[in-house]
Amino acid sequence: MTQSSLSGLRIVVSAGPTYEDLDPVRYLGNRSSGKMGFAIAAAAARRGADTVLVAGPVQLPTPEGVQRRDVRSARQLRDAVIAALPADVYVGAAAVADWTPRTVAVHKLKKADGVDTLTLELVRTPDTLAEVAAHPLRPRLVVGFAAETDDVERHARGKLEKKRLDLIAANRVGVAGSGFESDDNALVVYGRDVDGRGLERALGPAPKAQLADDLLDLVFEQLTAGPR
């Protein structure tokens, strides 16, 4: 861990889950705690970066020196990230819902006598990572995250190529002692070096604060490696 300075750079980080409302009291969500993204934002600010954190609904304190934008839904997250451009780096650490209800009920959905099933119509949410990677104000480096339950490398590399990312940090969820709610994690970062060789770097297992610094060391390495 070199603690490379990021002074003069603007870094946008998204963190946490999104909540997709079903009615005034229920939503579709996930188990993301936001801890990894918050750790990355804290480390970036500590290294001198102008840091914007787009945070889903989590109960975490704002890291010192970080500009925080609170959002709830995938659409709100997308809008806040795009509004934060231009930037030198975007780190998409949020666990953004892939699907959202087509309509939100005005009143609480209640059980009805004799009705044992409920059908929901879901539609795709905006793909913020892919949109940032294709944006006219595209950051110099776009970093994604892939939380997978199986075949981690294949899914992560597929996401890297499909979304045209520069780096993707992959981890297996559902493993004791790491993942969403844990303070520790383990990542494998995939990408391409400037000379065209495939990049693969294992980080951890370690506390998320240390992984954040290790990941930013790799970001700095990529930014200073020459023309992409």
Q: CA 188, CA 186: separation in Å to the nearest integer?
A: 7
Dihedral sign from CA coordinates of 201, 206, 210, 211: positive
Q: CA 187, CA 171: separation in Å to the nearest integer?
A: 5
Mark whether 171 is an active-site residue. no
Q: Is the peptide bond before 126 cis (omega within 30 degrees of 0)?
A: no
Closest residue by Cα to residue 16 from 69, 68, 93: 93
Q: E-assigned strands of the chain?
A: 10-15, 20-21, 27-28, 50-55, 66-70, 89-92, 99-101, 122-124, 141-148, 167-172, 184-192, 198-207
Closest residue by Cα to residue 217 from 143, 138, 154: 143
Helices (H), the chain: 35-46, 74-84, 128-134, 152-162, 208-223
Which one of 4, 28, 30, 152 is the catalytic residue? 30
State the catalytic residues. 30
